Amino acid sequence: MPETLIAAPSTAAPGLALLYDGGCPLCLREVRFLGARDQRLHAASPRLTFVDIDAPDYDPGAHAGISYREAMGRIHAITAEGQVLCDVAVFREAYRLVGLGWLYAPTAWPLLGPLVEQAYAFWAGWRLRLTGRPSLDQLCQQRCRLPE
């Protein structure tokens, strides 16, 4: 079973709850990097929390109603104010919160932004296949299968 990485609770609300696929090796690598950096910079009050959407107890109702299918199809995050971010905006905000916002800042530029969004959409569409996972439809069927 993949390790679930969740920031320690703090008295302050985190800046971003990032929904990630705990069965995806590339997603896990990104989450571990962001989590370690956040812990190093903000140990007393982490800015990020991580929610494994592939965990059996993932509850869309507790995460802005984002279904398993939606979350597996493209990355989502929820700000402390309850705003839902998708796609490259998630990375832009997560990296900003851990002091590396300059890396993703160009993705908001008028000419570059749309190209980066298209590249991400292409990646999101192929992510499961490229990481050796079943298709989104197969994963959803497995997840929705009721015990007999």
What integer pLDDT is reported at residue 147 of this predicted model? 47
139 pLDDT higher than 60: yes
Contacts of 115 (CB under 8 A, 6+ apart): none
Give CA separation, 72 vs 11, 57, 60, 96, 101, in Å: 30, 15, 12, 23, 25
CA dist 121 and 57 (Å) reads: 27
Q: What mean pLDDT is reported for the chain?
A: 89
SS3 label, residue 94:
helix
pLDDT per position as a tens digit, 43-73: 999 999 999 999 999 999 999 999 999 999 9
Summarize pLDDT for 17-26 with one digit per residue, the tens.
Answer: 999 999 999 9
Residue 45 token pair:
């009050």
User: In terms of DSSP bridges, do strands 48-52 and 84-86 run parallel, antiparallel, or are they unpaired?
Assistant: unpaired
The conformation of residue 108, written as its DSSP 8-state character, comes to G
Q: Answer yes or no: is pLDDT of 2 > 60.
A: no
Over residues 75-83, mean pLDDT: 96
Q: What is the pTM of this model?
A: 0.85
Q: Where does residue 94 rank: exposed (0-12), middle (13-18), buried (19+ CB within 10 A)? A: buried
Which residue bears the tokens 């995460």? 63
Report the pLDDT averaged over residues 74-80. Answer: 96
56 Cβ contact partners less than 8 Å away, ≥ 6 residues apart: none
